[in-house]
Amino acid sequence: METAFQVGEIVISTAGRDKGNYYLVINIESDRKVKIVDGVKRKFNNPKYKNIRHLVTTDQISDKFLGWLQSKKRIRSEDVRLVIKDYLEQEEVK
C-alpha cells in the first residue's frame, strides 16, 4: 500500500463539492483511498474517504499531529482545525 500521501500530510481537494478545501490525511486505507478530515464539516470521528486522484499535496506534514499520534493523545476536531489554520497562516506569510 504505497501512496503518494502520508499520514499527517495537508492536502487540497481538486474534485467534488469540497474542491479547493484543505484537509489533513489521518489514515491510508488502500493504494487509492485515504481518510481525510478538516475539523469543520468532516470531524475527526467521521472522516471522509477520498480517492487520491482527487487530491493534491501541499508537501507539508504536520509534526504536531504526528507527535499527538505517537503520544496517543486524544485528537479532537479543534486540534485538526488548528493544524490547518497554522499551515494557512504560514503560507500567507510567504
What proportion of the chain, given as a percentage, has pLDDT over 70?
A: 96
pLDDT band of residue 64 (cuts 50, 70, 90) is: very high
* 3-class SS of residue 53: helix
Q: Provide mean pLDDT across the span 18-33.
A: 93
Count of CB atoms within 10 A of residue 36's CB? 25
pLDDT at 23 over 80: yes
Per-domain residue ranges for the chain?
A: 9-93
pLDDT of residue 7: 94
3-class secondary structure per residue, 49-74: EEEHHHEEEEEEECHHHHHHHHCCCC
pLDDT of residue 58: 92
In DSSP notation, 75-91 reads --HHHHHHHHHHHHHHH
Q: Which CATH class is domain 9-93?
A: mainly beta
- DSSP annotation of 24 reads E
Average of per-residue pLDDT values in the chain: 91
pLDDT of residue 2: 53
Is residue 34 within 8 Å of 3, Cβ to Cβ? Answer: yes
